[in-house]
Amino acid sequence: MIPIVDTHVHFWDKKHPELRWDWLAPDAVHPILGDIDGIKSEVFDARHMWAEARFAGVTHFVHVQAAIGSPDPVTETVWLTEMAARHGIPHAIVGHADLGSDDAERQLARHRESPLFRGVRDFAAEPTIASGELPPAYERSLRYLAAHDLVFDLDCEYPVMAEAGAVAARHPDLRIVLEHIGYPRRRDDEYFQAWRAAIADLAKHPNVTCKISGLGMTDPLFTRESLRPWAEHCLESFGPQRCVIGSNWPVDRLFSSYDAIMAGYRDYVSALSPDEQHAVLSGNALRIFGIAS
């Protein structure tokens, strides 16, 4: 099997004295998914990840910020770096920083003390970008990310993709990775067509990569065929050199098994050439997230 780099996993350990995962609190209700009690374990770390992924042909994992509510986001990067030293994963870290803060560059510099730190996901990005005009502090932060070859992992639904494209145009050296194919909320044809057009427009910006991940989150009764048009449109729009894949594990365990998700991805790229399949499944991610193969 062509090896896979999973570009979207989440780890936690609720016993950590400084970190918090507010979205996993016993009484927390996910704002989009609702009841996620099925994944609210005390710990989910490298050991548990390997237990579920070891037969899927996955070789590397990228952790994306999950310790929401923690007083200092750099603590998560430190904790993950220590985990990698013990268990070998994650191989790269996308952390959190408040990119609109005057303190953002100092925070990013502290993240960069970890040899595994590769980028940022800031949940404030989408509403900030939707406003149509980024504050000067946010623009400075994006320039900092570009200057240090850090990834901007962008959570962005299709109605905001035009504004996201404008950001990509202003910062052509910034590596932008669109998360979860734009996190589609509905699966009807009207929504699909609007999303489809927005994806095609965003793909015109060569510094944007599409992360084909999280496809099952808002479609709990999905089938491999029901998700195929969404995945294939991303592959067609961005091309095999600007797509990566991610499991969104263990969140997507609410809807499927790990092996089934990865088998679906392999199926969606099967019509591509062997070199193109390798690019989508692992090569692009190794390059974008600076992972030594």
Q: Residue 5 pairs with which residues in a beta bridge?
A: 60
Total-model pTM: 0.97
157 band by pLDDT with thresholds 50, 70 and 90: very high
Residue 198, domain member (yes or no): yes
For residue 157, give the 3-state DSSP assignment: coil
Residue 179, domain member (yes or no): yes
Residue 54, domain member (yes or no): yes
Residue 165, domain member (yes or no): yes
| CATH number for the domain harbouring residue 237 | 3.20.20.140
Residue 49, domain member (yes or no): yes
Range of the domain at 36: 4-288
Across the range 251-280, mean pLDDT stands at 96
Residue 125, domain member (yes or no): yes
For residue 80, give the 3-state DSSP assignment: helix
Q: Where are the alpha helices (DSSP H) in the chain?
A: 46-53, 74-87, 104-111, 125-130, 136-147, 161-170, 189-202, 224-238, 258-268, 274-278, 284-288
Give which of 162, 170, 172 is closest to 208, Cα–Cα: 172
Residue 293, domain member (yes or no): no
Residue 138, domain member (yes or no): yes
Q: How many domains does the chain have?
A: 1
Q: Encode pLDDT of 125-148 as tens digits.
A: 999 999 988 999 999 999 999 999
For residue 11, give the 3-state DSSP assignment: coil
- The mean pLDDT of the chain is 96
